[in-house]
Amino acid sequence: MLKLTRKIDEEIRKAGADAYPNECCGILFGNNEGDNHVVKAFRPIENARESCEQYHRFLITAEEMMQAELEARRSGVEIVGFYHSHPDHPALPSDYDREHALPFYSYIILRVAQGKPEEMTSWRLRPSREAFDNETLEIKP
């Protein structure tokens, strides 16, 4: 299960709407509580993918990941996952998403239709990397 606050949910949805028609992306910080990831903060990342590809791909650079790891360490949390939007496409992971994911993270996908944030889902990649499993997304006040 992935747990986050209503405020973080709203801010991710706003990031998706603001980035439309391109994909937004960011990093989720928090803690592991058993099999649950509890999100305590997030960091929007500027999509580093070439501009002609941003409408259907995102890229978080190695430098951004290193900065996020340092930020997490200083804050006493971990990177528990990532988020990105799917402009005018379902909130389902693509083969591209699967090929670039790692099994121990949560992956939020937000559908943004005609600039309006809609369905938001969360996924975890199986250890075999063959497919994602849908993960319960719990939003608390």
Residue 18 belongs to a domain with what CATH number?
3.40.140.10
List, in order, residues 6 or more apart from 114 with CB less than 8 Å away. Answer: 88
The SS3 assignment for 25 reads: strand
Cis ω on the peptide bond leading into residue 44 (within 30° of 0)? no
- Residue 129's pLDDT is 94
Radius of gyration of the chain (CA): 14
CA distance 45 to 60: 7
Domain coverage including residue 74: 2-140
- Residue 56's pLDDT is 83
- Residue 52's pLDDT is 76
Walk along the chain (141 residues) and give the pLDDT tens digit of each residue. Answer: 999 999 999 999 999 999 999 999 999 999 999 999 999 999 999 888 777 787 888 889 999 999 999 999 999 999 999 999 999 999 999 999 999 999 999 999 999 999 999 999 999 999 999 999 999 999 998
Structurally, the chain folds into a number of domains equal to 1
- Residue 51's pLDDT is 77
- Residue 71's pLDDT is 96
CA distances from 114 to 18, 105, 117 (A): 11, 29, 9
- Residue 67's pLDDT is 96
